[in-house]
Amino acid sequence: MKGFAVSFSMKREKQDAGDGSLSEKKLHSRRAKKKELERELSQCGWELFRMGMQEQYGLDGEKITIERNAHGKPYLPGHPQICFNISHSGEYAACAFASIPIGMDLQQHRRAAWERMAERYFSAEDQKRLAAAENAETLFFRIWTEEESYGKWRGTGLSGSLGMEKKEGFCTHFSPEKGYEGAVWAAEPVKICMKRIES
């Protein structure tokens, strides 16, 4: 085991879901709130990055140069020994660090047309896993985080991982709480040490 991922997760306050009957004005307001929440979660992810850089490496995250590859994956050209990845979903943002390249994804279980998505995007092998599962919806999100984390590890994004029958590397699963699935992908198995931070 050469990799060691430290996952910092930050929980945001839960948003009111409303009663489901929306006027055009309320719908616009709901979309604006969702966009604002996405922005806040993204900011939380980068705040976790700065905290992790200070706590794990004694470096000022504000002064670190961050660049992105052709697919948008961030990396640290001045510190190639430090690898990281950020994800957010639902009420959580997360940032993982390791000494080897990693990809991480976090997904909240939510209502979705997951059966159609699995049929469209998953490999035949993963579709068989779903068909045989007692709790197929939970497994769907587990597989989805595997796909996302694999694509992020390779630096290609989701489009470079969906539907592939065989994948190199190893996937380690985690969950900040019930109703969430997370995965970290790396060339070798990683140990995950989670630290939860309330905002």
Tokens of residue 197, six digits? 């931070």
Strand order in the sheet with 92-98: 83-89, 92-98, 3-11, 190-198
Using CA atoms, how far apart are residues 126 and 122, in angstroms rounded to an integer? 6
| pLDDT tens-place values along the chain, 199 residues long | 233 445 555 565 554 544 455 577 666 677 777 788 888 888 989 999 999 999 999 999 999 999 999 888 999 999 999 999 999 998 888 999 999 999 999 999 887 778 888 888 888 888 898 999 998 888 999 999 998 999 899 888 776 556 666 578 999 999 888 899 999 999 998 888 888 777 6
- 10 Å CB burial of residue 37 (0-12, 13-18, 19+) is middle
The DSSP code for 62 is G
Q: Which residues contact 9 (CB under 8 A, 6 or more apart)?
A: 48, 92, 93, 94, 106, 176, 194, 195, 196, 197
Q: What is the pTM of this model?
A: 0.80
The full set of domain ranges for the chain reads: 3-198
CATH topology for the 3-198 domain: Ribosomal Protein L22; Chain A (3.90.470)
CB 80 within 8 A of CB 120: no
